[in-house]
Structure formats: C-alpha cells, structure tokens
C-alpha cells in the first residue's frame, strides 16, 4: 500500500497525480489517497523599497511558479495560478470520507482548481463536482471531523507538505522520489 497525501491547491500535488497513477498501474500497488491541507501558493507583489529578503522570496516564488507551469506543459496539462488562490477544505473533506475509487473526483477537483480557479472550499462547488463524477453528496459534518483526524495523524507522522508519500514506514516529500518509491515496492507485487 502506498499512502499519498495531497491538496488540490498544491501545484506539486497536481503535477504528481498522473505520474503516481502511472506508478500504480505499472506496479499494481494500491494507493490510499489522503487529504492534507497546505498553505496556498502566492507570489508576493513587488513593493517599493523591498528588502533583500522580500525580493528573494518574490523572485524565488515566481521561479517556482514558472517551473510548475513548465512541467504542467510537459505533461500536456493546463495550469493557471490565480492572483488570489481559493481554498480546498470542502474538497479535501469530501475526499476524507469518500468510498470507492476517488480518482475521478481527484481529477475533477484538480482540473477545476487549476484550470477554472474553482473555490474548492465552497461546499456547493464540491457537490457539483461530486455529481459530475457520479458520486454521492458528502456528509459535511462527518467529513470535517474525519479531515481533522487525518491531518492530526499525518502531522504526527511528520507530514507537513503535499504531496507526501508513505510506504514501508518511509516518508517521501514530492514526486521526484517516485523512482526511489518504485524500488521499495516488492518485486512480487509488481505486475
């Protein structure tokens, strides 16, 4: 089992989706998708008389955004960063209580956030996404409790960013570790 912590507002999680699914297809490993909220990504606005530190953070964030957009293009994906990023809490809560295959919802939520700048903190928006992939409405009270529980457990495991991968009691941050993760999947489990 490969446990993957994602957030729909995480550009790195969005870019990790298809490579992670490819790893699962190629190896036969089961993925346990878990929600984990991270801070939204923002490129600070340029200010008059910036300090060296402020300029560094702004330039570094802009470069990081450009790298994400580049890799999205390499994957053939559309990716737009909103000037004011919205939240993802309702979509994450829905994922927390989802039964069955969550991948159609995960794909729909990522696409809505990164191509349409949908507010995935809005339960009405998330209900529409659930319906679009043929899933039942979420029990929002239960979902909120479950999301808090997953976050607490994740933080106790040392998780602080998304995507995070947990396999064989080893924690990896980021899709760049997928080749190493692949090497940890027992050969007998691979298809």
Q: Residue 163 CB: number of other CB atoms within 10 A?
A: 26
pTM of the model: 0.88
Percent of the chain with pLDDT over 70: 97
Query: Is 15 in contact with 179 (CB distance < 8 Å)?
Result: no
Tell me which DSSP letter residue 185 carries: S
More confident residue, 123 or 185: 123
Inter-residue contact 43 to 81 (CB < 8 Å): yes
> According to the model, what pLDDT value does residue 57 have?
86
Burial of 45 (0-12, 13-18, 19+ CB in 10 A): exposed
Average the pLDDT over 118-135 and give the result.
96
Structure tokens at 115: 């191509």
CA atoms within 13 A on the CB side of 144: 4
Percentages (nearest 5) of helix, strand, coil residues in the chain: 55, 10, 35
Q: Which residues of 105-119 are buried (b: 16+ CB within 10 A; e: fewer)?
A: bbebbbbbbbeeebb
45 DSSP assignment? P
Give the model's confidence band at 16: pLDDT under 50 very low, under 70 low, under 90 confident, else very high: very high
* Cβ pair 118, 88 in contact under 8 A: no
How many Å apart are CA 78 and CA 4, to the nearest integer? 23
Q: What is the pLDDT of residues 47-101, one digit of tens each?
A: 888 889 888 888 888 888 888 888 888 888 889 888 888 999 999 999 999 999 9
* Residue 156 confidence (pLDDT) above 60: yes
Q: Mean pLDDT score of the chain, rounded to an integer?
A: 91
So what's the pLDDT on residue 65?
85
Q: What Cα–Cα distance (Å) separates residue 165 from each residue in 6, 42, 104, 157, 172?
A: 9, 24, 20, 11, 5
């Amino acid at each position: 089992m490969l446990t993957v912590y994602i957030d729909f507002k995480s550009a790195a999680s969005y870019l990790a989706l298809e490579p992670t699914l490819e790893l699962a297809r190629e190896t036969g490993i089961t993925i346990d998708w878990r929600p984990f909220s991270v801070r939204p990504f923002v490129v600070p606005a340029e200010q008059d008389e910036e300090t060296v530190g402020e300029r560094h953070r702004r330039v570094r964030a802009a470069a990081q955004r450009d790298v994400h957009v580049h890799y999205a293009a390499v994957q053939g994906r559309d990716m737009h960063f909103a000037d004011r990023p919205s939240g993802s809490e309702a979509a994450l809560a829905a994922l927390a209580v989802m039964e069955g295959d969550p991948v159609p919802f995960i794909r729909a939520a990522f696409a809505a956030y990164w191509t349409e700048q949908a507010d995935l903190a809005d339960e009405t928006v998330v209900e529409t996404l659930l319906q679009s992939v043929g899933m039942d409405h979420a029990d929002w009270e239960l979902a909120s409790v479950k999301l808090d529980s997953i976050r607490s457990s994740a933080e106790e495991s040392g998780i602080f960013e998304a995507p995070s991968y947990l396999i064989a009691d080893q924690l990896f941050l980021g899709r760049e570790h997928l080749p190493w993760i692949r090497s940890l999947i027992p050969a007998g489990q691979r298809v």
